[in-house]
Structure 1
Amino acid sequence: MPLDPSLAVLLESVNAAPRGRIADADPAVLREGERRSNAMVAPTAPIEVGSVADDTVPGAAGPVPVRVYRPGGATRSAPTVVFFHGGGWIVGDLDTHDHVARRICRDAGAVVVAVHYRRLPEDAFPAAFEDCLAAARWVAGHIDAYGGLRDRLAVAGDSAGGALAASVALAFRDDGEPLAAQLLAYPATDRTAAEYPSYTENAEGYLLTLQDLRDLTSILTRDDARTADDFRCSPLRAASHEGVAPAVIATAAYDPLRDEGLAYADALKDAGVDVFVRDYDGLVHGFLNMFAVSPAAESAVAELTGELTARLSGPQRA
């Protein structure tokens, strides 16, 4: 299937601009560019939810910033989703993914706790994972302050945030703390030296390039094979995937990360995990943020939030 026409127009503009190496760039410049890019594809008006409040939760290295979204209505109890933003472990923040968190909150009727973890290069691996795990554990241990239903707690994330969500779900499994679901959008699941066909098929021209991916991997792992093989960096490389939370996994046809996301879905299926997986034709990396400008992305996000909602709709137990 050809590229979604709305995204083709966007990519034409993006690809016409000069582009340097992530490895050579100032992180502050990258982050400002990410904020501008996301502002271009965000809805013109914020998605309405019941309330939004910034807060912090305790972390291993100090307070972790979070933003708590609550659905509208007089609901006494609701599911809770802990959300980790994407951005290659370097860019992305609570603002770049505000519309995504609002969409999950509205569509799933869930309290969403968006987490702003420590980022590269200032804070090396495994700082981001430690913050995400600490935040998720805090929410689980104080669920009455959020949705109120411990058996309806999920994690979610996109790209690097999808990898972090997958790793947190594995850690919860190891802790014997069940999760209701994990939503992983085009997750970066394997930072080892493995090669996938989608790396070369989608190496250039679709926002995330293969060179971007190489640079980000090098910065994350510091070119250390032991780090790359760690499940906190590469959830696909976990010793076992048995017993992890039911998964909703999305990949994009025009994304270099496509095949490692599909490989993660296969690994979970092979371990007996309930998995919904969809490789979306016509879409590119980052489409979760693009539902306001792409009908194909809108349809995909509606399906994904619907699948997440279904996995959060089991019997309620306070």
Structure 2
Amino acid sequence: MTLHPHARAFLDIVKDAPPLDTQTVEQNRADLENAIPLTGEGAPVAVVEDRRIAGVGVRVYSPRPLEEALPVVVYFHGGGWVLGDLEIADTTARAIAIAAGATVVSVDYRKGPEDPFPAAVVDALAVTTAVLTGDAGFPADARRVAVAGDSAGGNLAAVTAQQLAGAHPGLVHQALIYPAVDARMPDDGSYRTYAEGHFLTARDMAYFFDTYAPGVDRSDVRLSPAAASPAALAGLPSATVITAECDPLHDEGVAYANALAAAGVPVVSVTFDGLVHPFVYLGGLIGPAHTARRLIGGEIRAAFDAVE
């Protein structure tokens, strides 16, 4: 493993950050807010508008006026179901809207510890279902809907795809960016190799699960979509799975992509060598973030274009 120089620069910036479990939730959220400048400049789009869908706060991005019924990407931000918000995902959402030629609905789902599991899942399902049933509150092409998200948001996207399987044919793609799909936290592979020293740590992941889902069965598929049976994966929407090589979550993301493919789901799985969690956000510092954003948007656009 050779770290990408941009990833090394990021690690140098955050090398003195205290472990999450040594601070309050409020301090951890403030630290993440201070990192927003690293996400880069947001690309201009025609619409950026805060709304509510199914009672959940969202931010809507569109490359064209909302009066046009474009396909929709429902996006879930990362942050371990505890941190993160619409701001940290802003530049990523804008880039995907442009690359996919779609309206992006970025979801401000409830977080732990104030609203523990399964509140985030409930919100994710409510917003996605509203979009699929034409109840988003703006014109949308409900025949062409994708879910997407990074890290904890990738978990919510995968869970949403599973939970809505077969109910709405308009859900045609899932884009999972270094998704946290296995709360059982295996003590081997990338979880061991990158347990510390590469920003996201195994200790951080334990903190997130303990804060978001205390006492919850870690094999619950609404928390660990990787625990789903092969039969439950068959027939799911096509998938794009992006992983970072130097990330504790690398192996579970690749394994989930392989499980989807083995179940007959069309999958594009790409690992970005030498990069760390959460590189896709870090467009102000890490050049390959822009490559990944274009790839994700392009795969979503291709899935939309395949709908007759």
Corresponding residue for residue 220 of structure 2? 230
Q: Which of 213, 222, 226 lines up with 2:205 in the alignment?
A: 213
**Aligned 8 A contact 1:85 1:158 in 2:** yes
1:292 deviates by 3.1
Measure the CA separation in 1 of the matches of 2:307 and 2:202. Answer: 44
Measure the CA separation in 1 of the matches of 2:65 and 2:185. Answer: 49
Relative to the length of structure 1, the TM-score reads 0.91
What pairs with 1:293-304 in structure 2 (closer than 5 Å)? 293-304=285-296
Q: CA RMSD in A?
A: 1.9
Corresponding residue for residue 8 of structure 1? 8
How many residues are matched? 306
Corresponding residue for residue 49 of structure 1? 45
**Aligned 8 A contact 1:143 1:149 in 2:** no
1:298 deviates by 2.1
1:32 equivalent to 2:24? Answer no
What pairs with 1:20-99 in structure 2 (closer than 5 Å)? 20=19, 22-39=20-37, 41-44=38-41, 46-58=42-54, 63-72=55-64, 76-99=68-91
Measure the CA separation in 2 of the matches of 1:120 and 1:284. Answer: 24
**Aligned 8 A contact 2:97 2:297 in 1:** no
Corresponding residue for residue 299 of structure 2? 307
1:266 deviates by 1.2
Measure the CA separation in 2 of the matches of 1:74 and 1:159. Answer: 29
In structure 1, the gaps of 5 or more residues are: none
1:147 to 1:80, Cα distance in 2 relative to 1, 3 A: farther
Corresponding residue for residue 133 of structure 2? 141
Identity score, percent: 37
Measure the CA separation in 2 of the matches of 1:209 and 1:312. Answer: 36
**Aligned 8 A contact 2:234 2:265 in 1:** yes
Corresponding residue for residue 157 of structure 1? 149
Q: Which of 167, 172, 184 lines up with 1:175 in the alignment?
A: 167
Corresponding residue for residue 18 of structure 2? 19
**Aligned 8 A contact 1:57 1:135 in 2:** yes
1:218 deviates by 2.2
1:279 deviates by 1.0
**Aligned 8 A contact 2:257 2:269 in 1:** yes
1:74 deviates by 9.3
What pairs with 1:217-296 in structure 2 (closer than 5 Å)? 217-224=209-216, 226=217, 228-239=218-229, 240-296=232-288
Corresponding residue for residue 120 of structure 1? 112
